[in-house]
Amino acid sequence: MSRRKKEETPAIIHQELEGFSIHVDAFGKIQTSLPIDKINEFLNENTQDIKIHNTRKKRETK
């Protein structure tokens, strides 16, 4: 019996990150196709800080 191959579905990618790729080389160094500053800027704009969000909820309930 042979194993079934998993069908890979294409990932949903944000337009700003189109063409982004990341991998680790043989020495353990992370290689990316976009500069780290641009990635951090994108994450700051599009994600919430969980710790800040939780402390705001605690203040509002008191």
Res. 62: pLDDT tops 80: no
**pTM exceeds 0.75, yes or no:** no
**DSSP secondary-structure letter at 45?**
H
Contact (Cβ atoms closer than 8 angstroms) between residue 32 and residue 22: yes
Residues 4-37: tens digit of each pLDDT: 777 888 878 888 888 888 999 999 999 999 999 9
The dihedral region occupied by 39, where left means phi > 0, alpha psi between -120 and 50, and beta the remainder, is: alpha
What dihedral do alpha carbons 42, 45, 48, 51 form, nearest 10°? 90
The phi and psi torsions of 38 (rounded to 5 degrees) equal -70, -40
Tokens read off for 13: 């990618």
